[in-house]
Amino acid sequence: MMLVQNASDLLIKPLEKFRKEQIGSTKEKRKKFEKEGEKYYSQLDKHLNLSAKKKESQLQEADEVLCKERVNFYESSVEYVYQIHQVQDKKKFDVVEPVLAFLHSVLTLNNLTVEMTQDFMPYKQELQLSLQNTRNHYESTREEMEDLMKRMKQSSQICKRPSWLPMAGYLYCQEKWALGVTWVKYYCKYHTEGRLLLMVPCEQKPTTKQGPSQLTLKSCIRRKTESIDKRFCFDVEVNERNAPVTFQALSEGDRKLWLEAMDGKEPIYHSPIHKQAEMELNDIGFKFVRKCVNYVEEKGVAQEGVYRTVGSNIQVQKLLNAFFDPANPGDVDLHSGDWDIKTITSAMKFYLRSLSEPLMTYDLHGDLMLAAKSDSLDSRLSEIHSLTHKLPERNRDMLEMLLKHLVAVCSHSQDNLMTPSNMAVIFGPTLMRAREETVAAMLDIKFQNIVVEILIEEYKKIFSHMPEDGNAPPVPPPRVTPRKRQPITISKRPPRLYPPLSPERFLPQHQQQQQHPENGQSSERVVEGDVSPSPVPLQRTKSSVCAPLVPREPPRKQVPLYRSKTDFAERSESSSLANGDGRAASFQARKPLPKGDGEGLSRGGRIPPICRPPVRPPEPPSRQPSLKLQSPAVNEGSAASYVASKAKFFENASRQVSSIQASQSATNEKKENAS
């Protein structure tokens, strides 16, 4: 009875308890894992059988449902594996320990077994020590395993594959049979070193047993979405088969991992609008440009560098293929989130450049270039206005819609930095091009930009009013001589204003300080001092008010020098009498200058030459001259020869000097009277 009781208490009940608690909970985890796995794989099969031509919203909703099922499946699988690990560790001591206790009770039951007990004692002690160590190890590692399980439940950690592991997972392979095409599920493992792909079939047929197969990769290319009805597909070229093998991954992320492991490449897109039938201005083209314009004005009008920044070529071609698809043209929602501003603007520019004939037509290209080369701004505008209304109706409607949009974009130039001139640089070659690409056509690109800039700046006038004449005004011939001063530009700058010329600017500084303005006029005096050694040349004019014309003196000729004031006075008097001037007598009657002045003039014999007073250029008819430099006697007529002009020059100089001497003598007399 005691032996049976010990067997029940020490062996059977602990083992029963272990089975119920540990193995029972493991069975529940297994049921949950199998249920979630069945649910996930059934949802995955439905998801992979979805057509790629369904609406984007339906595909996104299916992706979200599959993602939730995948997370639940991963969590149940991690919990099941964790429970199995717990049972494997616990049975090492929870099963062995009851057996040891039962054997100990059996051995101590009978005194006859003392000798057997002593023989068994070393093994018993060693087993007890091992059980204690195993229990301690389990307690120390249990917390680490719980933390590991929590981290593995995170979705970001579940899909992450270590770089040192070979790529492995489930793939569906397209296989062609006599009755059609089927998709077979394989567990595949790819080794990067030998480029070997090992394929193990998961669904064994009852009649035939198929073993694993091995393929050697040559290349891997992502499958185009529109080329197959399935999603997440990629093609693999192998040495063992002539045709490429098509695989379907479980998700987009899974396909990226396979392509990255196999050095996969993107497919080469060929835009469908290269076909002649779809390169004309048709309703689909108008719909495409209208959608792009509305999207840019709604979300990207203030973006910096709009229409200047270029989008990805792959995305641009993908958008064009989707929009100009012959099966379902125009069925693209730009607000779906897959397209950014750069892709949409680049696609619209690509469509306009790909037209069989540019929007401004080949026939009007030459006339538009001649109009842009015109010197007159008004002439340019009127000619371009008239030529724009000669465009075909469809071209003019498309141009009006596009320019209206560009005007709206340029109105936000403070934010997007796209002024009309910057926008013209982008759309000049897009809207206009020559029939033949020559060097002259390349040089005319700047004039194409001028035409587009005028169209943007004068949009309201060009498209809201008809041109004045039905025919274009005559275009002036192109300039033969090179342009020197005025650059080709369409900016309307205000005329530059210059300050009026004043004769005081030509006098030395100490003479300018002696000028006393009186009644808006300045009396001009020439004194002895530091004057320019060469006379200022007179401007040749046709006005009768200005001084007589004096030709430019030769560079080697110098004005004659005077040794003394007496010599200077005699020469001046003779020249005055020769010209019939009665003022020479008054020059001799003046008092002599102080002794110091005479000595200063004759010192060293270096008398600076007397320059003729500067003459102001003639004023335009609308302006009144502010200063008359010449006396009435000078304006009697123009000199008939070079000698007469020289005589006239020295006559004027002598009058200026005589007036200076008279003022100086009057000043000296006042000083003497005061003393």
CA 392, 393, 398 angle in degrees (round to 5)? 100
Please write the tens of the pLDDT for every residue from 220-272. 999 887 778 888 899 999 998 888 899 999 888 889 999 989 988 887 655 55
Tokens of 135: 């229990």
- pLDDT confidence tier of residue 48, bands split at 50, 70 and 90: confident
The answer for 292, left when phi > 0, alpha when psi is -120 to 50, beta otherwise, is alpha
462 phi and psi, to 5 degrees? -70, -40
- The whole-angstrom separation of Cα 473 and Cα 101 is 119
Residue 577 in this model has a pLDDT that exceeds 50: no
Q: Which amino acid is at 593?
A: L
Tokens of 597: 């002045």
Residue 478 in this model has a pLDDT that exceeds 60: no
The helix or strand, by DSSP H or E, that contains position 317, with its residue range, turns out to be helix 313-323
CA 152, 156, 162 angle in degrees (round to 5)? 75
pLDDT (0 to 100) of residue 613: 52
Contact by Cβ (8 Å): 451, 428? yes
- In angstroms, the first-to-last Cα distance of the chain is 165
Higher-pLDDT residue of 105 and 170 is 170
pLDDT (0 to 100) of residue 524: 40
Return the percentage of the chain with pLDDT > 90, whole number. Answer: 25
Please write the tens of the pLDDT for every residue from 387-418. 999 999 999 999 999 999 999 999 999 999 99
- The whole-angstrom separation of Cα 135 and Cα 132 is 5
The least confident of 146-160, 244-258, 431-445 is 146-160
Residue 168 in this model has a pLDDT that exceeds 80: yes
Strand pairing report for 233-238 and 245-248: antiparallel
Higher-pLDDT residue of 126 and 571 is 126
Higher-pLDDT residue of 491 and 17 is 17
CA atoms within 13 A on the CB side of 325: 14
Tokens of 45: 């099969």
Mean per-residue pLDDT, 342-352: 92
pLDDT (0 to 100) of residue 541: 42
- The whole-angstrom separation of Cα 467 and Cα 500 is 42
The least confident of 489-498, 524-533, 640-649 is 524-533
Q: CA torsion 649→651→653→655, rounded to 10°?
A: -150
- The whole-angstrom separation of Cα 234 and Cα 251 is 12
CA distances from 1 to 7, 90, 110, 281 (A): 10, 31, 14, 105
Strand pairing report for 167-177 and 245-248: antiparallel
Matching residue, tokens 């200005």: 546
pLDDT (0 to 100) of residue 319: 87
Please write the tens of the pLDDT for every residue from 624-660. 444 444 444 444 444 445 656 666 777 787 777 677 7
Mean per-residue pLDDT, 364-374: 92
54-60: Cβ within 8 A, 24+ apart: 56/333, 56/336, 56/338, 57/336, 59/231
- The whole-angstrom separation of Cα 593 and Cα 657 is 12
The dihedral sign for the CA sequence 465, 466, 468, 471: positive
- The whole-angstrom separation of Cα 613 and Cα 615 is 6
- The whole-angstrom separation of Cα 632 and Cα 175 is 114
List the one residue out of 432, 456, 455, 458 whose CA is nearest residue 445: 432
- The whole-angstrom separation of Cα 157 and Cα 144 is 17
pTM over 0.75: no
Q: Work out the mean pLDDT of the chain and round it to a whole number.
A: 75
